[in-house]
Each structure stands twice: as structure tokens, then as C-alpha cells.
């Protein structure tokens, strides 16, 4: 055997050993994710629900937003991503009201990434004392007048969504953002998963778990 062939073989063996050493350990309940007790009902019918609890006012949610958007597009066919805007302060409550208003008007998904951009890149929306008027003006470029947006934001339907939201956040045991809930049963954060780059892997593991895999 030539020295060249031998060196290639040894390099290959070393690479395999390195890959094995770096392979993540099995996901563990109580370590990487927690159980939601009691499990909560889902809203996605026969699909496995993947919830991201977030706020536009949360810089960590802005940081993870591209990862979540990519994950949303690549989830298994039997899973669906749902956004849950958390209301930890008056400012966060304003953004939650705006999100549900945009959702009711059918423009939440197309504007989602742009809201983060308007806050953290363009500096057009304030996270400390946001006003519904300023947010309504922002959303007006999506074909809904600011007046209609404001009127919808004060509707009984939106108030009901916000109350249901508060109850669900408490039932899930959410105390920070971003937090992820899979099928109403499993809760984890980027930190518990081992980093934002591990979020999709853990989501897929839990989806597979719920799929019987």
C-alpha cells in the first residue's frame, strides 16, 4: 500500500471519528425540552402544531426569525407553524394586538419579516412605546387602510384573541421568548436546545415523536 493511499485512509478514519464525537446526544425530556402539563389543545386540525411564542419587541426573536422562517418552509407535510405573540409588557401587548389585527385582515404572514426589519434595521417602529397609529400606518402598504386597521384592532374579536393568548401563554408555562411548543405537549427554548442552530433539529425530533417515529 502506498504512503498516499495509507494517508487517505487514515484521514478518512480520523474524520469519521471526529464526526462521531461531535454527533449530538439523544434529546432528553427535562434537559432539552419540558413537558407541558396538562397538554393543550392545538389549532391545526390533523397537523402537528409547532408554536413559536415571540414578540416583535424581542431582539432575540429578531435574531432567530430567519431560522424560524426557513424551518416553516421545510417542516414535514404533517406539521404546521403557528405564531403566538406574547404580552409581557404594554409595548409587547401593542405588538400582539397589531399581529392579531394583521392576521384578521389576512396580511400577517406577508408582513411578518418586514415588521422585524422595520424595527431593527430601518428603525421605523419603536419597541419601547409603540403606538397602534404608527403600526397601522406601517401595515397600510399591504393594501389595508390605517383607519380599517385601527378599527379592527379595537374589535371584540381581537380582544377575545388577546385574552385567549394570555391564558395559553400561562398554560404553556412560557416565561421567555422565543419559546417553542410542539403539539401542545413539549416546550423548549433555544438555550435548552443547545443553541438557535439546534432549534429545527429538536422540532423535527418532536414532530417525529408525535408522528410515531
The whole-number pLDDT of residue 213 equals 66
The chain-wide mean pLDDT, for the chain, equals 90
Confidence band, pLDDT 50/70/90 cuts, at residue 12: very low
Give the C-alpha separation, 33 to 209, whole Å.
Answer: 13
Q: Are 184 and 36 in contact (CB under 8 A)?
A: yes
Sign of the Cα torsion 83, 88, 91, 97 reads positive
Mean pLDDT value of segment 109-138: 96
The whole-number pLDDT of residue 20 equals 35
Give the C-alpha separation, 136 to 120, whole Å.
Answer: 18
- Interhelix angle 59-74/108-120, nearest 10 degrees: 150
- pLDDT one-digit tens code per residue, 14-55: 444 433 333 345 899 999 999 999 999 999 999 999 999 999
Q: Is the peptide bond between 65 and the residue preceding it cis, with omega within 30 degrees of 0?
A: no
Q: What is the pTM of this model?
A: 0.86
- pLDDT one-digit tens code per residue, 155-196: 999 999 999 999 999 999 999 999 999 999 999 999 999 999
Instruction: Compute and round to an integer the Cα radius of gyration of the chain.
Output: 21
141: pLDDT strictly greater than 60: yes
Ordered structural domains, the chain, with CATH: 26-210 (3.40.30.10)
The whole-number pLDDT of residue 212 equals 86
In the chain, the percentage of residues whose pLDDT exceeds 90 is 87
- Of 209, 172, 204, nearest to 81 by C-alpha is 204
Strands 79-85 and 48-54, by their bridges, are parallel
The whole-number pLDDT of residue 22 equals 37
- pLDDT one-digit tens code per residue, 70-84: 999 999 999 999 999
120: pLDDT strictly greater than 70: yes
Q: Coil, strand or helix: which one is 186?
A: strand
Give the C-alpha separation, 107 to 117, whole Å.
Answer: 16
Output 65 or 15, whichever has higher pLDDT. Answer: 65
Q: Coil, strand or helix: which one is 149?
A: helix
Largest CA distance in the chain: 80
Burial class (CB in 10 A: 0-12, 13-18, 19+), 194: middle
In the chain, the percentage of residues whose pLDDT exceeds 70 is 88
Amino acid at each position: 500500500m502506498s504512503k498516499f493511499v495509507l494517508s487517505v485512509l487514515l484521514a478518512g478514519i480520523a474524520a469519521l471519528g471526529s464526526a462521531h464525537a461531535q454527533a449530538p446526544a439523544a434529546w432528553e425530556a427535562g434537559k432539552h425540552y419540558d413537558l407541558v402539563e396538562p397538554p393543550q389543545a392545538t389549532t391545526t386540525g390533523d397537523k402537528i402544531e409547532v408554536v413559536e411564542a415571540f414578540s416583535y419587541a424581542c431582539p432575540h426573536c429578531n435574531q432567530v426569525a430567519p431560522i424560524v422562517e426557513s424551518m416553516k418552509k421545510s417542516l414535514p407535510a404533517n406539521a404546521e407553524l403557528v405564531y403566538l405573540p406574547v404580552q409581557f409588557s404594554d409595548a409587547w401587548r401593542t405588538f400582539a394586538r397589531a399581529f392579531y389585527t394583521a392576521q384578521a385582515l389576512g396580511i400577517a404572514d406577508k408582513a411578518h419579516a418586514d415588521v422585524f426589519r422595520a424595527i431593527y434595521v430601518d428603525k421605523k417602529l419603536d419597541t419601547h412605546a409603540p403606538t397602534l397609529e404608527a403600526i397601522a400606518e406601517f401595515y397600510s402598504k399591504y393594501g389595508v387602510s390605517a383607519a380599517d386597521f385601527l378599527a379592527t384592532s379595537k374589535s371584540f374579536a381581537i380582544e377575545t384573541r388577546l385574552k385567549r393568548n394570555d391564558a395559553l401563554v400561562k398554560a404553556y408555562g412560557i416565561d421567555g421568548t422565543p419559546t417553542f411548543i410542539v403539539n401542545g405537549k413539549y416546550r423548549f427554548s433555544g438555550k435548552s436546545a443547545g443553541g438557535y442552530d439546534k432549534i429545527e433539529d429538536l422540532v423535527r425530533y418532536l414532530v417525529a415523536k408525535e408522528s410515531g417515529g
